Amino acid sequence: MQDHDVNLRFGVRALQLGYIDDHQFADACTAWVRDGQRSLAELMCARGWVTEQQRSDLEHHAGAETHTVVRAGNRVDDRLMLTLHANGPRDSVLDLEPADFANLPLTVRQRITLRGIHSSGGIGEVWRAYDEVLGREIALKRLKHSQAAHVDSRARFFREARITGQLDHPGVVPVYDYSHAQDDGAHCFYTMRFLQGRTLSEVIADFHDNRSADEDMVSRPLLQLLQYFISVCNTMAFAHSRGIVHRDLKGANVIIGDFGEVIVLDWGLAKHVGSGNVSADASSAPDPGDSLAGLMPTATLQGDLLGTPAFMSLEQAKGEVERIDRRTDIYSLCAILYDILTGRPPFDGDDVAAIMDAVIRQPPTPPRALVPGVPVELERICLCGLAKAPEARWHTVGELGDAVERWLTTLAERKRTDQERERFFDLSVDLLAIVDSGGHIAQFNMAWTTLLGWPSESLDGAVLTEFACEDQRASLTAGLAKIWAGESDVELELRMRCADGSSRWIDIRARSIPDEAGVYLVGRDVTDRRRSEQKFMGLLESAPDATCVIDRSGTIVLINHQLERMFGYSQEELLDQPIEILVPEHLRGRHVGHVRGFVSDPTPRPMGSGLKLQGQRKDGTTFAVEVSLGVLETETQMLVSCALRAR
């Protein structure tokens, strides 16, 4: 049964009845054309796809059937299968020019008007066309003249149209129809939605061309590119769920539509990973190893080396077709991500053979080594997918897309937190700032301008210590160092410089920010309090008696020099100590209650009230003293003034 129509009817009927799938059909037809001796039925039986009984029934049906052209819209169209027939005249292939369009079937000739070629690449070229019946612009992709004579190219072209048409997803262009000229079966074409837009490669190139070296890498254009990338991942996750791997993913095969559409194109090298058959992937083109020097790194290779050198995985570069699976696409996707982050593929250059050798033998340069501003987490995500061993890559495209999306979500949450901080900052009258690990002011509020007079341009990115008075900078530096050393909270009181040359006392509380390499700083103006204290200290120093001031808890907060001389302590030894340090040891426990009773009912007590009291010096000696007590009310607390005189 060598009549090609009968053979094709046999295969079509086997396909209709579900004995074989699309990929088995294409594989059998390719083998039948190459064999030239055995029939399609014999080949299918030899492969175990149909039984002898099924073969007998199918041959009877195919031999008795009168060949007719099945119109578009039916489940199987015999016209489509003629693309696999290679016995027609090879020298009669026509160029699909508008003037020659009459050679196409009547229904197509009446319906479609060609408007000019749009693009060309691989084995096909795309024409802009117009559907006269539905009144819409469409794209018509046809097999190139140079490829039409090759049965494998026609099989690949048909497989591309069929896979594209069956992947019903927003990220895959919808195919409207497939057809061929009736004379020799070599004029293959299909129609689809016409896409207005640019390739992802062009969008990536524009991003890096327009980005200055000192510009923040994490910008709106980068975030948009990452959203496009996630869309491509979603499309490929759908294709993988249908058992299809693309094998030629690159930015040039992704279209970004004028209205945000993200479409994955060129499924000509796609493979059904469940079939285990790769014979339909081969090409009758010469061995690519003989012609690599004349190829561009971004050109698609055919034959045993399937894919694009600059974006292909190790298993593709080695021609290990049996190892190609979903993780091969994951490698290419991460090569696209690498291009997004750095503006170039992982392995680049003019020598295709050298690129493929690098793919096999060399690790990719980390993106941050090329573009320092690349976020660390995005670099990790990218390099994981570029691992030489497939098992070391992301397990699924979904995991890869989710990882990038999580990074975007985390970034968005961080930005929302920053915005909330800014709103809070703007409402506060205190000095507020975020200081990074280098001591630079990363964020600040308007109080720095209203209180200290510094304009925003003087603050942004400036070193915090520059705004402390020169004699205060060491204290501020030491306080920040405590935060970096692990302390969660530090309090300082410093003189800070004003823009007009004056200074103000600022009570600073600095604390580390959880999960961030930064310090949150709150500064409250205490200049009036400090001036009052200085004035009060002047009065203390001029007092004839030894005097100290305690707070409600009995802690010493102020002393004069007379007290230091009387008890033999230095100021540093007494400040922040309980008042009982000046009381004999055997009386200290009882004295705490006396302080508590006075604070609860603060009645001033004059000197010479007759109380027999004792004090204890630093050397341990005790002596009789007289004490007067007074009450000092401040804006924030009550203080007790204690004047002591030796008897």
Reported as a pLDDT band with limits 50, 70 and 90, residue 307 is low
Q: What is the mean pLDDT of residues 337-344?
A: 96
Do 136 and 3 share a domain, yes or no? no
pLDDT tens per residue across span 216-266: 788 899 999 999 999 999 999 999 999 999 999 999 999 999 888 999 998
* Residue entry with tokens 């018509």: 140
Does residue 77 fall inside a structural domain? no
Q: What does the alpha-carbon distance between residue 254 and residue 335 come to, in Å, rounded to a whole number?
A: 13
- Predicted confidence at residue 524, as pLDDT, reads 93
Instruction: Please compute the mean of the pLDDT values over residues 67-85 and round it to a whole number.
Output: 30
Locate 379 and state its tokens.
Answer: 């670099």
360 and 214 part of one domain: yes
Residue 74 has pLDDT above 70, yes or no: no
Contacts of 434 (CB under 8 A, 6+ apart): 421, 441, 442, 443, 444, 513, 518, 519, 520, 521
pLDDT recorded at residue 305: 44
The predicted-structure confidence for 402-427, as pLDDT tens digits, reads as follows 999 999 998 888 777 777 766 766 67
- Tell whether 520 and 374 lie within a shared domain: no
Per-residue pLDDT at 535: 77
74 falls within a domain: no
* Residue at 597 is within a domain: yes
The per-residue pLDDT for 504 is 94
pLDDT of residue 251: 95
Q: DSSP labels for 240-287?
A: HHTTEE-S---GGGEEEETTS-EEE---TT-EETTT---GGG--SSPP
DSSP 493-506: EEEEE-TTS-EEEE
Q: What is the CATH number of the domain that holds 146?
A: 3.30.200.20
Of 131, 165, 194, the last residue of a domain is 194
- Provide the pLDDT for residue 62: 65
Q: How does pLDDT run across 588-636, given as a tens digit for each residue? A: 999 999 999 999 988 888 887 777 789 999 999 999 999 999 888 876 7
Name, in order, each residue with C-beta under 8 angstroms of 366's C-beta and a sequence gap of 6 or more.
379, 383
Which residue, 491, 525, 559, sits at the end of a domain? 525
- Among 41, 35, 23, smallest CA distance to 278 is for 23
User: Which CATH number do you get for residue 481?
Assistant: 3.30.450.20
Please indicate, yes or no, if residue 642 is contained in any of the structural domains: yes
Whether residue 323 sits in one domain with residue 285: yes
At residue 293, the pLDDT reads: 38
Average pLDDT over residues 143-170: 86
pLDDT digits (tens, 9 = 90+) for 81-90: 333 333 333 2
Cα four-point dihedral sign 301, 302, 303, 307:
positive
Residue 102: band (very low, low, confident or very high) from pLDDT cuts 50, 70, 90: very low
204 contact partners, CB below 8 Å, separation of at least 6: 225, 251, 339, 340, 343
Task: Decide if pLDDT at 269 tops 60.
Answer: yes
* Domain boundary residue, one of 34, 67, 100: 67
For position 188, what pLDDT does the model report?
84
pLDDT of res. 22: 65
pLDDT tens for residues 111-139? 788 888 888 877 888 999 998 888 899 99
* Residue 533 to residue 542: CA distance in whole angstroms: 14
CATH number of the domain at 379, please. 1.10.510.10
Task: Give the model's pLDDT for residue 92.
Answer: 26
187 and 217 in a common domain: no
Token readout for 272 is 């059904």
Domain check: are 503 and 576 in the same one? no
What's the whole-number mean pLDDT along residues 269-297? 46
On whether both 215 and 360 belong to a single domain, the answer is yes
Question: Are 184 and 250 found together in one domain?
Answer: no
In a domain, 127, yes or no: yes
The pLDDT of residue 170 is above 80: yes
Measured distance CA(469)–CA(498) in Å, rounded: 9
CA angle 424, 425, 429 (to 5 degrees): 105
Residue 217 covered by a domain: yes
* Model confidence at 471: pLDDT above 50: yes
pLDDT at 331 over 90: yes
Could you say which DSSP state residue 295 is in? S
| Helices and strands (DSSP H and E) totals, the chain | 22, 20
Per-residue confidence (pLDDT) for residue 285, from 0 to 100: 33
Instruction: Write out the two tokens for 634.
Output: 């401040």
How many domains does one find in the chain? Answer: 5
Is there a single domain that holds both residue 517 and residue 542? no
**Owning domain of residue 400:** 197-410
Q: What H or E segment, with its residue span, contains residue 114?
A: strand 112-121
Q: How far is CA 210 from CA 339, 365, 437, in A?
A: 15, 23, 30
Question: Helix, strand, or coil here: 147?
Answer: coil
36 with 124, same domain? Answer: no
What digits encode the pLDDT tens for the residues 544-578?
Answer: 899 999 999 999 988 999 999 999 999 999 999 99
Helix spans in 373-432 (H): 376-385, 397-427
pLDDT category at 311 given cuts 50, 70, 90 is very high
388 and 403 housed in the same domain:
yes
Give 626's strand partners.
Answer: 645
- What is the rounded average pLDDT of the residues 305-316? 79
Mean confidence (pLDDT) of the chain: 81
Average pLDDT over residues 509-513: 90
At residue 19, does pLDDT exceed 90?
Answer: no
In a domain, 334, yes or no: yes
Residue 549 domain-assigned (yes or no)? yes
Q: How far is CA 333 from the centre of its chain?
A: 13
Q: Does 2 have pLDDT greater than 60?
A: no
Model confidence band, residue 274 (pLDDT cutoffs 50, 70, 90): low
CA 412 – CA 415 distance, rounded (Å): 5
Rounded Cα–Cα distance for residues 500 and 481 (Å): 29
Residue 397 and residue 283 share a domain: yes
